[in-house]
Amino acid sequence: MNLVLRIDNNIIAIIVSILFLKNISNCLDKQETKNRVFVSVFALNAVELVIETFSCIINRQPYMWLMPISTIFHVVLYVLGPIITYAWYVFSRLWIDKDAEYKWKDNIILLIPIIINTCLAIVSPIVKLEFYVDKYNVYQRGALFFIPVIISFFYLFYSFIMIYVNRHKLNSIEFFPLLLFGVFPSIASLIQALVYGVLLMWSSIAYSLIILYLYLQQKMMHIDYLTGAWTRDKLYKHLNNRIRQKKSKNFSIVFIDLNDFKYINDKFGHCEGDRALTDVVSIIKSILRSEDSVTRYGGDEFVLFLNVDNQQEVESIVGRISNSVAEYNKYSNAEYLLSFSCGYELYDFNKSMTVEEYINHVDQLMYWNKNNLKANITI
């Protein structure tokens, strides 16, 4: 089979995968485990595509120095295959159980096939179990080449069953894309296993991941593209989870509104306005701890989520942000000064306020603060 015809589909899949990886890496909230797993599946599959493509290019080349490279490439290919499909299982499980966290120690039984396959792949170049590269630098399948194929099928099928059994936890927009994800890769991998030289499996997974992402992106994207802050949907989800938790642990939100932002946009243009927004978020992030977060609530409105024990901690964090903004104004080349009004209050579990009621309450405190500032300036 002509080499170009064998790898052209892989090359297209590699280019598309890289473009999508760049996009989803900027848009997905990495604090969510399922998003990190999804990006990992995408990235590992792209690596698999690249290595498979290069292994095809150097296969049969009459250069002895290429043999160890070809051998290493095929070891990686055989090891990564089942890992990618296992990662898909993990993603599916995390998507179904929205509040679950993955712990590999709890899944050690499911990892046994991967461990066995990894050992077989590593020793295969010597004992010719799953594959080997002969003295002519030609890749050959070993007697056990089907082992990683069966393991990959197992994880895909297991995910399929798990998704179907838990269909009541998913809406139709989630259920059908997740259920059908493994169908095309399974067909493609079966063809590739039966017809030596055909390259279909990893490109089909790349295209399936892209289609899945397009279906699920509204539920996966929780990051504001401009500033890198959380989106409003992400904030509401997070607040609902904290309010519903069995053990009450204090937290607070801080509603922040930039002063005279319309003036910045009108006077200096929207590009400068965008710069002001991104600079403010950068300043806030430099002060917040890893367990805190900042959300872009509206155009120039931000909500901070703070894991704190008391009001004094909130005031301390707000004070440090205010000082950092003042420091920024000293050394900024901008022709305007950044400032903000804010409102904040610890959530009172005894009042059992909804998320909407709590945010509206703190929003009113912010407007009270803003009006007071204007009154002082007027006086």
- Reported as a single tens digit per residue, the pLDDT across 48-106 is 999 999 998 999 898 889 999 999 999 999 999 999 999 999 999 988 876 667 777 77
Angle at 304 between CA 298 and CA 307, to 5 degrees: 155
Give the DSSP per-residue string, 52-84: HHHHHHHTT-S-TTHHHHHHHHHHHHHHHHHHH
Mean pLDDT for the stretch of residues 252-263: 92
Report residue 111 as tokens: 């990892």
Angle at 86 between CA 22 and CA 96, to 5 degrees: 80
- Measured between alpha carbons, how far is 182 from 151 in angstroms, rounded to an integer? 14
Domain map (residue ranges) of the chain: 3-220, 232-378
Residue 304: band (very low, low, confident or very high) from pLDDT cuts 50, 70, 90: very high
End-to-end CA separation in angstroms for the chain: 84
Predicted confidence (pLDDT) per residue in 34-45, tens digit:
888 889 999 999
Mean pLDDT for the stretch of residues 240-251: 80
The answer on pLDDT for 373 being more than 70 is no
For the chain, give the percent of residues with pLDDT over 90: 46
For residue 9, which phi and psi values (nearest 5 degrees)?
Answer: -65, -40
For residue 32, which phi and psi values (nearest 5 degrees)?
Answer: -85, 125
Predicted confidence (pLDDT) per residue in 111-162, tens digit:
999 999 999 999 999 999 999 999 999 999 999 999 999 999 999 999 999 9
Q: 52-70: string of b/e by CB count within 10 Å (b at 16+)?
A: bbebbebbeeeeeebbebb
Q: 300-334: string of b/e by CB count within 10 Å (b at 16+)?
A: bbbbbbbbbeeeeebeebbeebeebbeebeeeeee
pLDDT score of 342: 92
- Measured between alpha carbons, how far is 332 from 351 in angstroms, rounded to an integer? 43
Please tell me the least confidently modeled range out of 103-112, 294-303, 307-316, 346-355: 103-112
Superfamily the domain 232-378 falls into: Reverse transcriptase/Diguanylate cyclase domain (3.30.70.270)
The answer on pLDDT for 108 being more than 80 is yes
The answer on pLDDT for 291 being more than 90 is no
Q: Which residue has the higher pLDDT, 269 or 100?
A: 269
- Measured between alpha carbons, how far is 86 from 158 in angstroms, rounded to an integer? 10
- Measured between alpha carbons, how far is 36 from 31 in angstroms, rounded to an integer? 8
What predicted TM-score, i.e. pTM, was given to this entire model? 0.66
Q: Strand pairing of 301-306 and 139-141?
A: unpaired
Listed in sequence order, the DSSP H helices in the chain are 3-27, 33-58, 66-96, 108-127, 146-165, 172-180, 183-194, 201-220, 232-244, 261-268, 270-287, 311-331, 355-378
- Measured between alpha carbons, how far is 208 from 158 in angstroms, rounded to an integer? 18
The answer on pLDDT for 379 being more than 50 is no
Whole-number average pLDDT of the chain: 87
- Measured between alpha carbons, how far is 346 from 174 in angstroms, rounded to an integer? 35
Please tell me the least confidently modeled range out of 67-76, 175-184, 275-284: 175-184
Give the DSSP per-residue string, 230-296: BPHHHHHHHHHHHHH-SS----EEEEEEETTHHHHHHHH-HHHHHHHHHHHHHHHHHHS-TT-EEEE
Q: Which residue has the higher pLDDT, 2 or 163?
A: 163
Residue carrying the six token digits 């405190």: 365
pLDDT score of 5: 58
Please state which architecture CATH assigns to domain 3-220. Up-down Bundle (1.20)
pLDDT score of 378: 40
Report residue 122 as tokens: 């590593």
Angle at 338 between CA 333 and CA 342, to 5 degrees: 165
